[in-house]
Amino acid sequence: MRKSLNSIGVGILFGLGCLIWLITNHMGLNHVIGYLSNRFIHRTFLSHDASIWLTWCYKMWMWYVIGFGSWLVVLFISCAVLFRNKFNVHSPSERTLLFFVMSLTLASLCYKLVFMQFSVEHDYVALIDSIAIALIVSIHGVQKGKKSLYVACIVFSIVQYYLINRPGTTSQRGDRYDQFLKAGKIIRSTSKPDAVVFTTGNSYNFPANNPQLMYYSKSNICPIRNIKEAKLKLTELGISEGNIYDLARNKIIKQTKVYRK
């Protein structure tokens, strides 16, 4: 067993080493370190003022309510049972499991505190705690025979899911599910393969660097503020032509050709 784990560890390290070597060989070590440092600072609390702590607390509460809903009630009951029993567990397996859950919880909390900006922006950060919550609820949850509470939570979770992710063509916020598909098809059909794709009017709900938009358009996208900025970018890249797509109301409302100076 130990030899197998050692072999797996060596394989993972070897794979990561090859990946790092390929990237640094292509981009250069200084550029890789610079990029990773920039992303680290942007994703953490280092590039924000003290107000991000209040935003973080509010967002964490919202992400957990959206992600787990009624299961938070069961989690509260489970934790109350643990505190009442002063964390006394009888079997070695339960003690190991409790230590594992507490380790997961601590690691998750440290991760969300360090990568505070990332945690504020992405609701799926709450999924990190899914295993710990599921274990606490299942092992130290309500008393035996109270299965009706679990059934009610399952039913409520299904209803909550479909209230947030409504069937049909539009979400609860009024956004079309296929908005990136439609915009991407427009860009792909109206832009030449060697032209640079620019966008203006980018918003939080419709960002230019959205992976879906880039996938459906089959293009890398450069957000800009005006035509002058697009021309400077074309000159910098040495490319003669580009297309500017104005985004508003989560769709493309205008297309403009732009040429290098």
pLDDT tens track for 107-137: 999 999 989 888 988 888 988 888 888 887 7
* Amino acid found at 73: V
- 145, pLDDT greater than 60: no
pLDDT at res. 166: 82
Structure confidence at residue 9 as a pLDDT band (50, 70, 90): confident
Chain segment 73-116, per-residue pLDDT in tens: 888 877 777 777 666 666 676 677 778 888 888 999 999 998 98
Q: Nearest-CA neighbor of 184 among 176, 32, 34? A: 176
Q: Distances from the Cα of 133 to the Cαs of 65, 110, 114, 119, 199, in angstroms?
A: 13, 17, 21, 18, 42
| Count of CB atoms situated within 10 Å of the CB of 241 | 14
> Is residue 60 predicted with pLDDT exceeding 80?
yes
Does residue 186 contact residue 194 with C-beta atoms inside 8 Å?
no
Nearest Cα to Cα of residue 155 among 72, 71, 73, 78: 71
pTM over 0.75: no
Q: How far apart are CA 84 and CA 98, in angstroms?
A: 15
